[in-house]
Amino acid sequence: MDTLFAIGAGAYGATTVTYLASLWTERPSVGRLAVWLLRATLVFWSALLVWWAVDTGLSGGTRLGLGLSAWSLCALYLLLLRRYPIAALGSFVTALSTVLAVLAVLGLFVARPHPVLTGALADWLLWIHISLAFVGIVAFAFATAVSLVYLLQARMLKTKSRSELRRRLPPLDVLDRLSLRSIIVGFPFYTVALLLGSVQAVRAGEGTLRLSYVLAVVSWVIYGVVLQARLAAGWRGPRAAILTTVGLAVAMAVVARYSLGLG
C-alpha cells in the first residue's frame, strides 16, 4: 500500500514535468500527453483512495483528506478546462497536487495518526469538519495556482516579454475571475469547518491554544480580507494574488502539522 501511494505521488510528479514540458515546446502532442497522463494518474489515485478509506476508516482522516485534495484539485482543473482556456494552468495545478500527494505519503511513512483522529471524539462531527476543511483548501489551492499564473503572466506583460510562454498562458482577466470564484466557493466551507473545529476543541475540553488553531484562524482571516477587499474595494491583480498564495501557505501549514502527527 505504502509503495503504491509513493508510485501515485510519483505519477503526479511525472504529470507536472510533462505539463511543464508542454509549456516550453511547440508540439501540441506533449500537451495532449500531459492530459492523458493526468487522467491515468487520477484513475490510479482514485483506486488507492478507495482502498485506503475502506482499510482505515476515520483514522485515515487527514491523509485521506490530503489524498482527496490532490485528486479534487486536478479533477476540478480538468472540469474547468472544458470551459476556460486554461491548458497552461496544468503545470501549476499538478505541482500543487504533487505537494499534497507527497504530504499524504509522508504521513503514511513518518507519523502515526494524531490522537484526536483515533480517540473518543473521532466521530461523524470530526469527519464533517475534516471534509469541509479540505473542500475549502482545495478551492484555495486552485485559487493559488491560478494566482501564481496570474503573477507570472502580469509580469511578462509588464516587462514586454516576447516569450512564447506569454502567448500560452491564459488571459489575465480569466485568471482573475477564476481565482475570485474559487475563493468565493471555498470560503464558506472553510468557515464552517473552523466553527466545527472549535466545537471539537470544546468537546475535548482543551484549555490551551494550539498553534494549529491559531494558524487556521490566521488563514481564515487572510481569505476573509482578500474577499472583502476584492468584492467591496475592487482589489485585484498582484496584491490579491500574493495574499491568496500566503493564505494557502498558512492553511497548508495546519494540514502539514496534522499530517505529521503534530496537531
Partner 1 sequence: MASPSRLVVLGLNHRTAPLQVREQFAIPAEALPDTAGLARAAGFGESFVLSTCNRVELYATTTDPVLDDEALADVLAKVGNARVHVVRPHVYSHQDGPAVRHLFRVASSLDSMVIGEPQILGQMRTSFEICRVAGLTGPSLNRAVERAFKVARKVRAQTGIGRHVVSISSVAVDLARQIFGKLESRTAALIGAGKMGELAARYLVQAGIETLWVANRSPERANAVATALGGHPRDLGELPRLLTEADIVVTSTGARDYLIDKASMKAALKARKYRPIFLIDIAVPRNVDPACNTLDNVFCYDVDDLTAVANENMVSRQREAEAAEGLVAEEAIRFLREMSSVDIKPTIIALRRHADAIKGAELERALRRLGELDPKQLKVVEMLADGVVNKLLHDVQVGLKQAAASGDDELLRAARALFALPEDDSSEDP
**Binding stretches for partner 1 (CB under 8 A):** 26, 85, 153, 157-158, 160, 162, 166-167, 169-174, 233-239
Q: Which is nearer to partner 1, 49 or 241 (CB)?
A: 241
CA distance 13 to 114: 27
CA distance 136 to 192: 10
Cα 66 from chain centroid?
A: 8
CB of residue 256 vs partner 1: minimum separation in angstroms? 31
Q: Which is nearer to partner 1, 117 or 178 (CB)?
A: 178
CA distance 82 to 112: 40
CB of residue 237 vs partner 1: minimum separation in angstroms? 5
Q: Which is nearer to partner 1, 195 or 231 (CB)?
A: 231
CB of residue 236 vs partner 1: minimum separation in angstroms? 6
Q: Which is nearer to partner 1, 112 or 239 (CB)?
A: 239
The helix/strand count (H/E) of the chain reads as 10, 0
Residue recorded with cell 494550539? 210
**Nearest one of 4, 113, 100, 10 to 51, comparing CA atoms:** 4
CB of residue 145 vs partner 1: minimum separation in angstroms? 18
CA distance 56 to 63: 10
> What b/e string do you get for 46-63 counting C-beta neighbours within 10 Å, with b at 16 or more?
eebbeebeeebebbbbbb
Asked if 93 and 142 touch (Cβ cutoff 8 Å), the reply is yes
Torsion sign, CA atoms 37, 38, 39, 45: positive
CA distance 125 to 128: 5
Q: Which is nearer to partner 1, 82 or 158 (CB)?
A: 158
CB of residue 157 vs partner 1: minimum separation in angstroms? 5
CB of residue 240 vs partner 1: minimum separation in angstroms? 9
Q: Which is nearer to partner 1, 177 or 210 (CB)?
A: 177
